[in-house]
Amino acid sequence: MAKFTDFMISPLPIRVIDLKIERSKLKLKGFTVLQFGHLPGRISKRKGASYECWAFSYIVRGKGSFQVDGQQLQRLEAGSLYWEWPGASFDYGPDPNESWDEYYVSFEGTRVNEWLEAGIISPDSVMQIGLDNRWIHKIETIGALLESGIPDNADRAALMVESLIFEFYAVNASRSSFYPSQKPEYVLHVLDDIANSLYQPWNEQQVWERNHLSRSSLRRIVHQNTGYSLNEYVNRLKISEAKKLLTYTSLQIKDIAYKLGFDDAAYFSRLFKKFTGISPNKFREKL
């Protein structure tokens, strides 16, 4: 692979390999690897960076930090992996007067949406997957396949990236299973904020602005940490709170609905039955 020097990035030679063929020649249409990069001795920091495609970056030496959309600063070290994606703003780089060695792969395609829905990609959180020479070898192979300029090799690179991403997920999940109740502090803060908003009309924009998030980041955090879409999660919390009010107060059903931010008591009753299987009246009668 060709090397070149960009002293703004690193004093050492770096490698960047782009997809070299027309997309129409690819057999795999749902996922395409766009670029490979190896940045040894990286010294540059990015602030407010934005991207038009997805990417993962794997740190193999050094320490630094990562922040997305002004959320909590996360630490990076050898064995850390972080994601970049369209529509977000990123600050990251090695610690002051330090450097790190980094591999990255950028990609795009409809397959990414499937990974997000399945929780295989959790982009807001840094993954601590550890150092593994097998992964470095696979990433290097992805770069070699791209550089060949052969359409079938570009498809092979895409399949290898997909396999690698699933390996990252599996290792991260196994490590996290030892601490299943632990979530990043900013995630807990967001979920607490939503829980504290139950006794008022739901306003999604106020929540993401209070937490310095984009709309997509808010929805992604909730889905990946609860398994529900944002609206369903909020409605489930409200109905859970409604069950408490039906049990421990004598408030009328319409008053409970208004208290929980529902302007339409009939809609509240339909929603209650959807999640509990019975109407609010039947629920109270069974107490």
Res 226: pLDDT: 81
Determine the length of the chain.
287
Res 125: pLDDT: 85
pTM of the entire predicted model: 0.65
Contacts 24+ apart (CB under 8 A), 67-73: 67/91, 67/92, 68/123, 68/124, 68/217, 69/212, 69/213, 69/214, 69/217, 70/212, 71/124, 71/186, 71/211, 71/212, 71/213, 71/217, 72/184, 72/185, 72/186
pLDDT band at 181 (very low <50, low <70, confident <90, very high): very low
CB-based contact 5:43 (threshold 8 Å):
no
What is the rounded CA–CA span in Å between residue 240 and residue 253? 14
Q: What does the pLDDT average to over 61-88?
A: 93
Res 227: pLDDT: 80
Asked which of 31-40, 50-59, 166-175 is least confident by mean pLDDT, the reply is: 166-175
Q: Please, what is the Cα angle at 189 between 56 and 192, to 5 degrees? A: 130
Q: Of residues 177 and 237, which shows the higher confidence score?
A: 237
The tens digit of pLDDT for each residue in 75-92 reads 999 999 999 999 999 999
- Strand order of the β-sheet with 32-42 is 15-18, 32-42, 100-108, 54-61, 80-84, 127-128
The SS3 call for residue 2 is coil
Res 1: pLDDT: 56
Res 175: pLDDT: 62
Res 180: pLDDT: 44
11: left (phi > 0), else alpha (psi -120 to 50), else beta? Answer: alpha
CA-based nearest residue to 68, from 188, 187, 224: 187
What is the rounded CA–CA span in Å between residue 246 and residue 285? 10
Which residue reads 């069974």 in tokens?
286
pLDDT band at 43 (very low <50, low <70, confident <90, very high): very high
Which residues make Cβ contacts (< 8 Å) with residue 68, sequence separation at least 6? 88, 89, 90, 91, 123, 124, 217
Asked which of 117-126, 198-207, 240-249 is least confident by mean pLDDT, the reply is: 117-126
pLDDT band at 152 (very low <50, low <70, confident <90, very high): very high
Q: Please, what is the Cα angle at 285 between 282 and 287, to 5 degrees? A: 115
Identify the structural domains of the chain with CATH numbers, from first to last: 15-176 (2.60.120.280), 185-285 (1.10.10.60)
The tens digit of pLDDT for each residue in 252-278 reads 999 999 999 999 999 999 999 999 999
The whole-chain average pLDDT of the chain stands at 90
Q: What does the pLDDT average to over 203-222?
A: 88
